Structure 1
Amino acid sequence: MGEWVRRWSDAHDVGAGTWAKYDSHLRNHILPRFGEVELGEIGRMTVKAWVKSLRRSLAEPTVRDVVSLFSTIMNEAVDEGLIAANPCRRLRVNTGAGDERPVATPEQVALIVGRARLMDRVMMIMAAYGGMRWGELAGLQWRRVDLDGGHLSTDAKVGALHEVGGTLTLGPPKTKASVRTVHLPPFLVDLLAELRESHPGARYVFTAVEGGWHRRANFRRRVWLPAVAGDVKRGWNPIAPGLHFHDLRHTHNTWLIEDHVPDVLRHRRMGHRQKGVSGIYSHVTPPMIAAMLDGLQRRWEQTGSTDVGDHYWDASVVKISCSQSAPTTQKRPVGDDHQQAV
């Protein structure tokens, strides 16, 4: 099996992020168990027992990913004529339906972003109101932003920041469909204009406090978790515990559904390929885009979030439902660690 994995790896072509995940599954789970076993000796019952053992130490989604990779490799062995059948064929890995990811309300988003410096604030708003992925935002360059036209575009070759094995590099977005134009509501154009004015000559739209590229783990620890889960030292109550940065993308898509945005535009905006006949015969039109942007603008304005300066955020103007956990509404300065200029 080990020899076959080496041959398969040399011929298999995927992105750096995907390969890093494959490599981890191979090194930690597949090769330790089957690396020295002859391909033809790997039987179905042996695989089922192995999957059962994986469940004792791994989360169900990880078990599914490991088994899926193992099955792919064995399928290729069948195609190569090395074995007669894939021992994973029709093997059911019952991971169950995972917990549904939470989505935020516009009011929660306004409160969360109000706890960050201007640059991080705009980045989070871009995720919620633009639906862009983390890597697309972290790697966004000003040359791809057209404030006069009210939109930005993702670069096909260097449109996303990738972090693999601790190394940061620019590369293509996740899929071909991710190379797209993202239209911006007026308030977001204003925010980006303010950000650009405060950082003249900057190459990248969003950077860490130190001035370099964002590392996801650092952003999560320093900015995101205190904002959503609260920070006793700063007097911040929880707003949306358990909410991930990527959930802002779920939030954006949900808002579009609530606003009855056509599927063809939702898929295009999210960077997804619409499958089937609809993906061939449906097309995005300017009236669709205008209606979508009106809805997003209306959501923002309904929160009362009109103060976008970097000095403070007036949470008292944000409309909060009675059931929503929220911080105190006292106007307070942003912490010193967020005030540093980039």
Structure 2
Amino acid sequence: MATGIYERHARACRSHSGGRCNCEPSYEAKVGGREDRQSRTFPTYTAAAAWQREVQALKREGKVTSRQTVQEAWEAWIAGARAGTIRTRSGDAYKPAAVRSYEASMRLRVLPEFGHRTLATVTREQLQQFVDLLVEGHAPTTVECTMLPLRRMYHRALTRGQVQVNPTAGLELPRARGGRDRIASPKEAAKLLAALEVGDRVIWAAAMYAGLRRGELRALRGRCVDLANGVIRVEKGWDAIEGEIETKGHNKRRVPIPTVLRDYLTEHKARNDYAPEALVFGEAGRPFRGETLLTRAYTRWKDAGLDRITLHECRHTYASLMIAAGTNAKALSTYMGHASVAFTYDRYGHLMPGNEDQAASLLDAYLERETTAV
């Protein structure tokens, strides 16, 4: 019998007492040493030997699969994401909020089901069944967010040779229905701001007329608001747990201050006289509380009979206003802090002018200028 293949008999088999075997023995094949040992049991010696040869060949090629469990692999992955050694596809560190979201999804739904399994034994079919069960009691976005960290973990395992197949590839996930794409018109934006408490207007105006994200608004410091030159320097973001963090994508940027926003910021500065290192929109030295701000705003808008808007939808409104004003995609991408112009086109391309008639008219006008020039 080949080395590493062992004949296993039933407990009641006579062979244990020196007699003739009266059971159907199985065959356990083992490969590797103490640190990387793999074993598997088969009903026949031939099957055990074939598996052993296959694993040994994979091992020689550096493709042997890992004995690591999903739980162990996840703990290693999330520790790396937390430390910044495991990064996003664009090379950025994972945001603290994203790490917490991943941890919650895995802890609540994935690990109870698959945590004890080794990475290589989880199949696509099993994961698809898991997804189908999730769909019955969860929203499509919840299902997608549940599978995302698992997909990230398996992608890393595949690139490191820990598994030969990524079982999360090709899963059929439910499509989330598009939510409302709330964008305020110029007149509506003015009405929404006018209905707010005086002290809250400047925060919403900075979101509406400069496109700052909530975390960027919370982290904005006095030295970053240059009223003399009409520029806001966006340098930091704010996380609810970690505090001050890098901006999304580590993209520091300069955003122009339009006159309508300058008026709000000038009034706010005169009323608060914050120091260069102080938070512009701080409350007792701490960033404003987003939930409290929303509650006050929603109450005011309801009383005024206005359709409410979120801070992030104010950012969409900013993009819409800038496009309507004629800002080109490259400049808008910079002001919004997007990773690329392509993302700006994907997100806001439907708002940008450029139908066939207009394109033809622009070309006609250009050709006429060039061909008639003396």
TM-score normalised per structure 1: 0.71
Aligned match of 1:246 in 312, 325, 330?
A: 312
Alpha-carbon distance, 1:97 to partner = 4.2
1:79, CA displacement in angstroms? 2.3
User: CA RMSD of the aligned region, Å?
Assistant: 2.1
Q: Distance in 1 between matches of 2:180 and 2:195?
A: 26
The answer to whether the Cα contact below 8 Å between 1:113 and 1:227 also exists between their aligned partners in 2 is no
Cα deviation digits, residues 248-280 of structure 1 (max 9, x gap): 00111111222221111110111113347x99x
Structure with max Cα Rg: 2
Change (3 A) 1:239 1:97: same
CA contact (8 A) 2:221 2:280 kept: yes
Q: Which residue of 2 aligns with 1:66?
A: 146
Q: Distance in 2 between matches of 1:268 and 1:22?
A: 29
Taking structure 1 as reference, are residues 191 and 101 closer, same or farther at Cα in structure 2, changes over 3 Å only?
Answer: same
The DSSP-based 3-state class of the residue aligned with 2:202 is: helix
In the alignment, is the contact (CA less than 8 A) between 1:108 and 1:240 conserved in 2? Answer: no
Higher mean alpha-carbon deviation, 18-27 vs 262-271, is at 18-27
Structure 1 residues 129-140: aligned runs within 5 Å: 129-140=209-220
Matched, 1:161 2:230: no
- The one-letter code matched in structure 2 to 1:7 is A
Q: Identity over the aligned pairs, expressed in percent?
A: 23
1:253 and 1:245 mapped to 2: Cα distance?
A: 13
SS in 1 for 2:184: coil
Segments of 4+ moved more than 4 angstroms: none
Counterpart code for 1:217: E
Distance change (3 Å), C-alpha of 1:269 and 1:201: closer
Which residue, out of 246, 262, 268, partners 1:189? 262
Q: CA deviation at 1:181?
A: 0.5
What amino acid maps onto 1:139 in structure 2?
A
Match 1:207 to one of 274, 282, 287: 282
CA distance in 2, matches of 1:136, 1:11: 25
SS at match of 1:246: helix
Structure 2 stretches lacking a partner, 5+ long: 1-69, 85-93, 346-374
Aligned residues: 262
2:164 alignment counterpart: 84
Q: Name the SS of the counterpart of 2:196 in structure 1.
A: coil
Q: Provide the secondary structure at the position in 2 that maps to 1:55.
A: helix
Letter in structure 1 aligned against 2:310: H
The alpha-carbon deviation at position 15 of structure 1 amounts to 2.4
> Following TM superposition, by how much is the alpha carbon of 1:93 offset from its aligned partner in structure 2, in angstroms?
1.5
User: Does the aligned pair in 2 maintain the 1:131–1:252 contact within 8 Å?
Assistant: yes
- Per the alignment, residue 50 of structure 2 pairs with none
Distance (whole Å) between structure 1 residues aligned to residue 201 and residue 79 of structure 2: 43
Q: Which letter does structure 2 place at the counterpart of 1:149? A: N
- The answer for the alignment partner of 2:119 in structure 1 is 39
Structure 1 window deviating more from structure 2 (110-119 vs 253-262): it is: 110-119
Cα deviation digits, residues 140-196 of structure 1 (max 9, x gap): 1111111111111012xxx12211xxx36111111233x100111123222211111
For 1:96 and 1:66, the matched residues in 2 are separated by: 14
Matches of residues 116-135 of structure 1 in structure 2 within 5 Å?
116-135=196-215
Deviations 1:188-229 (A, max 9, x none): 222211111111245221124x663212222222x232133x
1:266 maps to what in 2? Answer: 332
The residue correspondences of 1:1-342 to structure 2 (distance < 5 A) are 1-12=70-81, 13=84, 14-155=94-235, 159-163=236-240, 167=241, 169-177=243-251, 179-202=252-275, 203-208=278-283, 212-221=286-295, 223-228=296-301, 230=302, 236-241=303-308, 243-275=309-341
Aligned 8 A contact 1:224 1:245 in 2: no
Deviation at 1:131, TM superposition (A): 0.8
- Contact 1:120/1:206 (8 A) holds in 2: no
How does the TM-score come out when normalised to structure 2?
0.65
Could you give the per-residue CA deviations for residues 7-45 of structure 1, whole angstroms, max 9, x where no partner exists? 222333322122111111111122121111222221111
Does the CA-based 8 Å contact 2:232-2:254 persist in structure 1?
A: yes
| Corresponding letter in the other structure for 2:239 | H
**Cα separation, 1, equivalents of 2:124 and 2:333:** 39
Q: Is the 8 Å Cα contact of residues 279 and 285 (structure 2) preserved in structure 1?
A: no
Q: For residue 47 of structure 1, report the CA deviation from its aligned partner.
A: 0.3
| Alpha-carbon separation, structure 2, partners of 1:33 and 1:227 | 46
Code of the residue aligned with 1:132 in structure 2: it is L
What displacement does 1:106 show?
2.0
The AA in structure 2 aligned to 1:207 is G
- Could you tell me how far 1:96 is from its partner in structure 2? 4.1
CA separation of 1:274 and 1:168: change in aligned 2, threshold 3 A: closer
How far apart in 2 are the matches of 1:100 and 1:218? 23
Highest RCO, 1 vs 2 (Cα 8 Å, sep ≥ 6): 1
